[in-house]
């Protein structure tokens, strides 16, 4: 009896030491870990080693980033880099391909340029890790984490329940799928309403799978104003609007359905979870509409690129970008500059307006 008691005391002492080590590791961050799923807007190097045109591991990408070129699709920090700092992490969340061992306890970035909700999305650009693959990669991470918790699923789930999960998908399902009829048949196979419904059905299953793996505090983003990015402005000659409103209208159908899905989740469809909906469409529209107030002077062209609006393709290797990146909303044909990412991340993190973060902001989610 005494020997058994001693073993239990030793076991709980080890648990206490481990918990203390984790608490010290995560200080001063507001959450113990941050897991990221998405596309090129938040990819920080996962596409570097694969055969794809959707990669940014060359200059001038990273021209303003402390570590230089890393595979981030902008001149400096991404949206989630800034969120990590706002959450109190003392370093950025590493890409899946580079993180090992106990580093996993702080979180992982699984995002992949060209990725979408649908597996075939982005195939026109080459290899990538679609949302289904990213969820599978997280499942592998959970298996490794389980070893650190000595197979104790209850303690592991309690740990994961405190983490923030960011999921930003859907942009490429329109850019590099639905509105690319020469490569994909979806535009002829689906009406905009039916396509949005098909995307949301798949997305529902993917988010449910994340929940089954332990995700509880989940941030999902709507699709931004894609019809107004330099890539579309370079191709569209509309009469009533500079933007391609056919694309924007189709995206709005998806975004409306996604917000409705968040409401369903928060009403108990996924027990114990709390979802935050970030309205990227509204926040990106706000940047353009109030550009002068935010210090921007150029709202319709990339800081680097080729052709009309610098929107024909992404930045060329070793291309000289614009001198003052702070005056541009867009870095290239598709992606925001670091300054724009800072403004967007701050709105998502602490805005009290439900227009940008609904029903609460990320700071409030972290405190729950």
Model pLDDT for residues 162-195, shown as the tens digit of each residue? 999 999 999 999 999 999 999 999 999 999 999 9
* Secondary structure letter of residue 52 according to DSSP: B
The pLDDT tens digits for 5-31 are 444 444 444 444 444 444 444 447 899
Of the given ranges (216-220, 239-243, 327-331, 357-361), which has the lowest mean pLDDT? 239-243
pLDDT of 236 above 90: no
pLDDT of 2 above 70: no
The catalytic residue among 39, 286, 300, 335 is 335
pLDDT of 129 above 50: yes
pLDDT of 210 above 70: yes
- Stretch 248-261: mean pLDDT, rounded? 98
pLDDT of residue 12: 43
pLDDT of 240 above 70: no
pLDDT of 223 above 60: yes
Q: Domain extents for the chain?
A: 31-367
Nearest to 280 by CA among 358, 215, 210: 358
Residues 6+ apart with CB under 8 A from 52: 113, 114, 125, 126, 127, 128
Q: Which residue has the higher pLDDT, 223 or 26?
A: 223
Q: Indicate the pLDDT class of residue 156, thresholds 50, 70 and 90.
A: very high
pLDDT of 266 above 80: yes
pLDDT of 241 above 80: no
* CATH 3.30.70.260 for domain 31-367: no
pLDDT of 350 above 50: yes
pLDDT of 43 above 60: yes
Residues 6+ apart with CB under 8 A from 230: 300, 301, 302, 305, 309, 310, 311, 330, 332, 333, 334
CA dihedral (333, 337, 343, 344) in degrees, to 10, reads 40
- Stretch 271-288: mean pLDDT, rounded? 97
The catalytic residue among 40, 112, 273, 284 is 40
Strand partners, 119: none
pLDDT of 55 above 50: yes
pLDDT of residue 363: 98
SS3 content of the chain, % helix, strand, coil (to 5): 45, 10, 45
pLDDT of residue 23: 43
pTM confidence score: 0.91
pLDDT of residue 20: 44
- Stretch 146-152: mean pLDDT, rounded? 92
Phi, psi (deg, nearest 5) at residue 229:
-80, 155
pLDDT of residue 104: 97
pLDDT of residue 239: 54
User: To which H or E segment does residue 4 belong?
Assistant: helix 2-26
Residues in the chain: 368
- Stretch 339-349: mean pLDDT, rounded? 98
Nearest to 203 by CA among 176, 170, 171: 170
pLDDT of 161 above 70: yes
Q: Catalytic: 40?
A: yes
């Amino acid at each position: 009896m005494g020997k058994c008691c001693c073993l239990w005391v030793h076991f709980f002492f080890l648990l206490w030491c481990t918990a203390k080590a984790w608490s010290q590791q995560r200080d001063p961050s507001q959450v113990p870990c941050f897991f990221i799923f998405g596309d090129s807007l938040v990819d920080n190097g996962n596409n570097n080693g694969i055969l794809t045109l959707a990669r940014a591991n060359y200059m001038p990408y990273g021209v303003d980033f402390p570590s230089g070129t890393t595979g981030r699709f902008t001149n400096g920090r991404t949206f989630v880099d800034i969120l990590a700092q706002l959450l109190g992490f003392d370093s950025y969340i590493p890409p899946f391909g580079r993180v090992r061992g106990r580093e996993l306890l702080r979180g992982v970035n699984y995002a992949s340029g060209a990725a979408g909700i649908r597996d075939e999305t982005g195939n026109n650009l080459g290899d990538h890790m679609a949302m289904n693959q990213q969820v599978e990669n997280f499942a592998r991470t959970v298996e490794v984490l389980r070893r650190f918790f000595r197979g104790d699923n209850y303690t592991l789930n309690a740990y994961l329940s405190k983490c923030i999960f960011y999921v930003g998908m859907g942009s490429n399902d329109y850019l590099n799928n639905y509105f690319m009829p020469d490569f994909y048949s979806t535009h002829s196979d689906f009406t905009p309403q039916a396509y949005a419904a098909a995307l949301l059905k798949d997305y529902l299953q993917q988010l449910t799978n994340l929940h089954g793996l332990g995700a509880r505090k989940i941030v999902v983003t709507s699709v931004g104003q894609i019809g107004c990015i330099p890539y579309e402005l370079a191709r569209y000659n509309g009469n009533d609007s500079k933007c391609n409103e056919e694309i924007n209208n189709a995206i709005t159908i998806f975004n409306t359905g996604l917000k409705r899905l968040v409401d369903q989740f928060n009403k108990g469809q996924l027990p114990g979870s709390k979802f935050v909906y970030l309205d990227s469409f509204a926040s990106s529209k706000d940047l353009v509409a109030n550009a002068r107030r935010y210090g921007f002077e150029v709202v319709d062209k990339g800081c680097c690129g080729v052709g009309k609006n610098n929107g024909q393709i992404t930045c060329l290797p070793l291309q000289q970008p614009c001198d003052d990146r702070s005056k541009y909303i867009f870095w290239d044909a598709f992606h925001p500059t670091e300054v724009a990412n800072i403004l967007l991340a701050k709105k998502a993190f602490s805005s009290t307006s439900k227009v940008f973060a609904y029903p609460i902001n990320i700071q409030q989610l972290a405190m729950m």
